[in-house]
Structure 1
Amino acid sequence: MSTVTVTPIKTEADYQNALSRIDELLGLNPDPYSELDDELDVISTLVHAYEQAHYAIPYPDPVDAIKYLMEENGWKNKDLEQFIGPKSRVSEILNRKRYFTLQQIHNLHTHLGLPLEIFINEKVLQVV
């Protein structure tokens, strides 16, 4: 039984080497629960953590996210009333004249699947 040494990813070079190793392991098509599969799992986890710290994708603006969902699903303002409130409230929010209440955030998260982080994050908190 061989022992594989996996080290933390601290630099861009470490990151590139880890990506190369992932490609190599995927090419070997390791059996589930094998040593190579375990190595792939550990390296993938390290790569993910490194990417979150160095290449994080910022959360979208909540109004932009809702407008995107509306466009993709062919929804009108009226379709949001059940989550946000009366027509006037939907309009105020979509025109950025009013921010979401906690209940509205909960409704949009629960029923539309919008992540809570788009409503509460560093970018949004600086604007409000």
Structure 2
Amino acid sequence: MILGINDAPSYEGLIQEFPPRPIHNDSQLQAAQNRIDALIDLERELTSDESDYLDILGTLVWEYEQTLEPIPDINGVELLKVLVEERGLRQKDLVPIFKAESIVSDVFK
């Protein structure tokens, strides 16, 4: 049975089901994200109470993510170089992927 708008929980009901609290670890983050996903996946338009509740959860997730180490904004060859270095690989280890040592050398120039 799909709940209709009239069957949707109130803001207070949503808070009672899953009280929004500051997030301090990955377990709490996952629980908040699961709750967010459940709201987003509803097969109807969210009520204003649900939208407000979703905003609060989203803010808590965003605030927690700001405390984490930022992911560097790199891609392409720079990303490949970082991955090779982190894994202790040598350029010749990539020859099976690129099919020729000359191509690997060109990529790393």
What TM-score do the two structures reach when normalised by structure 2? 0.46
Structure with bigger RCO (C-alpha 8 Å, 6+ apart): 2
| Greater gyration radius | 2
What TM-score do the two structures reach when normalised by structure 1? 0.40
